[in-house]
A = this chain, B = another copy of it.
Amino acid sequence: MSKRIGQRTLTFSRAPRITSSYTLVGPREGKGPHALDFDEILPDDTLGQKTAEKTERLMLELAITKTLEQHDTAIEDVQFLIAGDLLNQITTSCLAASTYPVPFLGIYGACSTFAQALGLGAVLLEGDFAQQVLIGTASHYQTAERQFRYPIELNVQHLQTNHVTVTGAAAAILSFADRGPRITHATFGQVVDMGLKDPHDMGSAMAPAAFHTIKAHLADTGRSLQDYDLVLTGDLGKQGRKMLRLLLEREGFEGLERLQDGGSQIFGDWQPVGAGGSGAACVAVMTLGYVLNRLNSAKARRALIVATGALLSALTVLQGESIPCIAHAIALEQ
């Protein structure tokens, strides 16, 4: 049987698993409603480092090292490290990778990076190119704010449609070991650009990409939203989530009650975070924390992760370009 079904969804008949994972988040995320879903809440957002970039790198290294420890795996027994992050030239991942003597594949999909890593890792395992693959990502409020928006020292007031970048890191080992949720499908998305240009409302820009990928995934697999106990988009935020529902409703999709959104849920309503969380770590910690807990405790049997990314840069905004967006969907099953 071909591994490709329908137009673009890959199905993994050998079903690699998320065997081990580790999530850590900053203090603000630790005060949100999902605090108990994460493995570790950092006491502060510096970890004693001189720069926020060094903190971000250290967070990623901590997540990777703890993942290896939890699985009692030596780095030498891992065949690939796939990682990416939001910083220019993904330097968080590149610098962290220099600590691990394992082939490194740097990727970039903005806040969808984690799902791209999950899907590529599954491809390497399913195709028999590896026995164990490490994936990881991280983001930090301060590094992202100053790179994409303004230095936090300026204290610029945020709009209600602005996201707050999640401070956190996540890593996982994918393998054929006999525990952990199985990765059954990957639907890699195409870039969708509806011409939106407002970097302060990335949820609206990303919603059409999420819609496009969900539609392709359901068409390819013959499934409906109801076939999933949980469909976690991320990070559409409050605005983007509404847009996605409108798009799905307009085309008659049912089961919208299955939709959840990592960006909208990681913070509480009592937290002043505009549209919600974003950042490469957001959907990563929500997947490896919240969704895995639901699957592992049998509160959900099947989940779909639809990670979205806004593929803009500070320069493309200044040059008046629109915001190309992408979404990758990964189906997980207990």
Give A residues with C-beta under 8 Å from B.
2-4, 8, 10, 51, 53-54, 79-80, 84, 86-91, 94-95, 97-98, 100-110, 116, 120, 123-124, 126-130, 187-193, 311-316, 319, 321, 324, 326
Contacts and interface: CB of A to CB of B under 8 A. Distances in A.
B315 A98 contact: no
Q: Which of A3, A54, A124, A127 has the most CB of B within 10 A?
A: A127
Q: Which of A79, A86, A97, A106 has the most CB of B within 10 A?
A: A106
Contacts of A2: 128
B129 A95 contact: no
Contacts of A116: 105-106
Q: Which of A87, A90, A120, A192 has the most CB of B within 10 A?
A: A90
B4 A129 contact: yes
B127 A94 contact: no
A130 B123 CA distance: 11
Contact of A89 (B79, B110, B124, B319): B110
A100 B190 CA distance: 8
B94 A191 contact: yes
Given A97-B191, A105-B116, A106-B108, A316 B91 contact: yes
A91 to B, nearest CB: 5
A228 B179 CA distance: 44
Nearest to A94: B311
A188 B319 CA distance: 35
A79 B319 contact: no
B79 A8 contact: yes
B311 A193 contact: no
Given A102-B190, A123-B123, 20 more contacts: A3-B128, A53-B316, A80-B188, A86-B89, A90-B311, A91-B315, A91-B316, A94-B326, A95-B193, A95-B321, A95-B324, A98-B192, A98-B193, A98-B324, A100-B190, A105-B120, A106-B108, A106-B109, A127-B128, A127-B129
Contact of A88 (B10, B51, B88): B88
A176 to B, nearest CB: 14
A158 B103 CA distance: 33
A123 B127 contact: yes
A95 B193 CA distance: 9
Given A123-B123, A123-B129, A127-B129, A188 B4 contact: no
Contacts of A4: 79, 128-130
A311 B57 CA distance: 14
11 contacts: A10-B129, A53-B315, A87-B315, A97-B191, A98-B324, A104-B188, A104-B326, A106-B108, A106-B311, A108-B108, A123-B129
A87 B192 CA distance: 20
Q: Which of A53, A86, A129 has the most CB of B within 10 A?
A: A129
Given A127-B129, A129-B123, A103 B190 contact: yes
A18 B143 CA distance: 40
Nearest to A50: B319
A190 B101 CA distance: 6
Given A100-B190, A128-B127, A189-B103, A95 B316 contact: yes
